[in-house]
Amino acid sequence: MTKIYGEGDTQVRALRDVSFSVRKGEFLLIIGASGSGKSTLLNMIGLLDRPTNGNVIIDGINTSTLSDNQISSFRNQKLGFIFQSANLLSDLTVLENVTLPRQILGNNETAISDAKKLLTTVGLEPQMYKRANKISGGQAQRAAIARGLANSPSIVLADEPTGNLDSVTAETVVQLMKSMSRKLGQTFIVVTHDPSQFGDVDRVITTKDGRAFEGKESNKIEVTA
Amino acid sequence: MGAVLAVTIGILVIHVNFVIFQGLFDAIVRDLTDYRFGNLQVTDEEDYIDKSDHSLVNWFERIPYVYAATPRLDSSAAINITKFGKRIEETRVPVVGVDPLRDIRASTVHKTVTEGQYVFSRNSIVLGSNVAKDLGGAQVGDNVKLKIVDRYGQDQLKRFVVTGIANSPGGQGFDYSVVMHIDTLRDMMNREGYTGSIMVKLNDPTKATEIKEFFLRSFPNQDFKAETLEEVAEQQLAGFRSGIAMINMIGYFGMMSSAFAIVTIQMMLVNGKTKEIGVMRAIGAKRKDILIIFLFQGLIIGTIGATVGTAAGLGYTIYAMETKMSWNNSLPLEVTIQWDKVIQTALTSFSLALIASLYPSYRATKLLPVEAMRTV
């Protein structure tokens, strides 16, 4: 797929003919310098934006054929998001934030109990009833991980999840994500500018000038259509 | 909070307007009814009523809806007084002749006599407070002379004793007139047996038109004219009504301004919540979910604002009723709670709050998740 912003002389090719597949259960890192297109790539995969050319196929479904409402439902059920600054809703408690995806899905019966289990798993049981704006950055990021897993999505997309954290907290978050991936078998696609934090992962894709290369910078193989 | 306040103030302004201006209008209607015209006034189409006033009064008082009726006669006079050796004269003073016994049942103007007492004998006279002032401060017990031109153009002079001074709040009573016994006035005008008008007070004012029509049917060939208060005081009241309508319109414009305030505040809220809207869309909320969230917010604003505003407005209205609030410290307002208007105002304000939330809610749904989350 290709993504172009703007028109004419102000055109910017954020992505150029990027094409690759991700297997179920893979822990994939997307790395690259600032402005290389990694976040744009993640937005395309996460259906937060549409490619100018090409399409995204998730679990066999060509998402370019979906309507706006269908894409919203798809995101809710198939995708989980972990943002750089957690992006919890500050007016809600930690527990309410984690139950939100399930409430949007319309499945409220076990939403609270499942959310509590997730929060216990990520070590946030004591902070469950605190307002989201009353917890630390590391705690918020763990809550965001729990929210991202609330609907048992096929793919969890994380955009610089450790970007705003100190090294110790970042390590904790990374280990948490990896253990959840192992335990639940979910696919994790993580954008980061610092792959060293993540150690060994299943796969790495490097972006540069809108193009994607398999592997790290030093041994990259371009992934194109 | 600001939006709720806007709705509350919008409603409160309407209520305050209503208490003051409708209260003033109703007070004037009340005083015109109680002092001058009654609920129904009967006159002759061309001249004076020559039918016996007793028979007419008795005819009316046999009707169950009629509380009382009384005859009145109007003229004008020159009045003079000699006070401290100085003669003071006033001309063209309105004169009202009343039947003391019937008048105190059909009218409450006797209650406006603040000094002395109402007319009770053939040579007693009640001066309006302004007339008394113009006569150099005439008092109860003073002697005054009245000169009236009778039907034949002859001056008729008579001396009276001032038995009372009338001073009505707001001046709707006989503050600018003098009141005497109707028979005395008839004698002076050489109009024995004549009556200027019959003032009719009803138990049920809503029956005025019905009784008027019944009366006219009962006396078909008598040149009678029967008018309800609305008809008699049409010109006086029409001006007030226009003023009140304009004041009310200003009030409703104020309410619409509060709706614009809500739009602005809601837009600020949408802008302030852009990132959160983006996050919600990212985790799967549909556009309609976002719409419902912000419309619900508008609903809450409208509900709380309408409730608080209505409560505050009713509180003010009840306060005005209990304290007999007066206009300009004189005319006591006739304050009533009109529940249909209260409900209408609350519903209008609530609806405006909801409508005002539509555009901001729509704008919230238009935010693209990826753009919304770029907001810092």
pLDDT of residue B252: 81
For residue range B219-245, list pLDDT tens digits in order: 887 788 999 888 888 877 888 888 888
Written as six digits, the tokens of B334 are 């006739």
pLDDT bin (cut points 50, 70, 90) of residue B372 is low
Return the CA Rg of chain A.
17
B90 and B236 Cβ atoms separated by less than 8 Å = no
A83 and B280 in contact by Cβ < 8 A? Answer: no
B6: Cα separation from own chain's centroid: 29
pTM of the predicted protein model = 0.72
Put simply, the chain A residues between 136 and 165 with a CB less than 8 A from any chain B CB are 147, 151
Establish if B366 touches chain A: CB-CB under 8 angstroms.
no
CA–CA distance, B304 with B353 (Å, rounded to integer):
10
CA–CA distance, A164 with A162 (Å, rounded to integer):
6
* Domain range annotation of chain A: 3-222
Percent of chain A topping pLDDT 90: 16
In the predicted model, is pLDDT for residue A221 greater than 70? Answer: no
pLDDT of residue B264: 87
pLDDT of residue A99: 93
Among chain B residues, the shortest Cα distance to A39 is held by B370
For residue range B117-158, list pLDDT tens digits in order: 999 889 999 999 999 999 888 899 999 999 999 889 999 999
Helix, strand, or coil (residue B1): coil
CA–CA distance, A140 with B334 (Å, rounded to integer):
62
A87 and B275 in contact by Cβ < 8 A? Answer: yes
> What rounded mean pLDDT belongs to chain A?
85
- Comparing A220 with B228, the larger pLDDT belongs to B228
- Comparing A6 with B166, the larger pLDDT belongs to B166
Residue B21's contacts (CB-CB under 8 Å, 6 or more residues apart) are B243, B244, B247, B248
A81 and B282 in contact by Cβ < 8 A? Answer: yes
For residue range B291-324, list pLDDT tens digits in order: 998 888 888 888 898 899 899 999 999 998 888 8
The minimal CB distance from A101 to the residues B276, B284, B286 is found for B284
A68 and B286 in contact by Cβ < 8 A? Answer: yes
Helix, strand, or coil (residue B159): strand
pLDDT of residue B328: 67
- Give the angle subtended at the CA of B149 by the CAs of B143 and B152, to the nearest 5°: 145
Establish if B368 touches chain A: CB-CB under 8 angstroms.
yes
Among chain A residues, the shortest Cα distance to B284 is held by A76
Give the bridge partners for B226, in sequence order: B42
Put simply, the chain B residues between 235 and 294 with a CB less than 8 A from any chain A CB are 275-276, 279-289
For residue range B349-367, list pLDDT tens digits in order: 888 888 888 888 888 888 8
Find out if CATH 3.40.50.300 is the number for domain A3-222. yes
CA torsion, ordered B263, B268, B269, B270, to nearest 10 deg: 90
DSSP string, A120-140: HHTT-GGGTTSBGGGS-HHHH
CA–CA distance, B152 with B158 (Å, rounded to integer):
17
- Range picked from A59-68, B10-19, B68-77, B89-98 for highest mean pLDDT: B68-77
* Domain range annotation of chain B: 2-29+236-372, 71-196
Measured between alpha carbons, how far is residue A58 from residues A45, A47, B212 in Å? 9, 10, 86
Q: Which helix H or strand E contains B181, and what residues bound it?
A: strand B178-181
The alpha-carbon gap from A221 to the nearest alpha carbon of chain B, in Å, equals 29
The minimal CB distance from A101 to the residues B283, B288, B370 is found for B283
The minimal CB distance from A89 to the residues B276, B281, B370 is found for B276
A186 and A154 Cβ atoms separated by less than 8 Å = yes
Written as six digits, the tokens of B282 are 């990212």
pLDDT bin (cut points 50, 70, 90) of residue B182 is very high
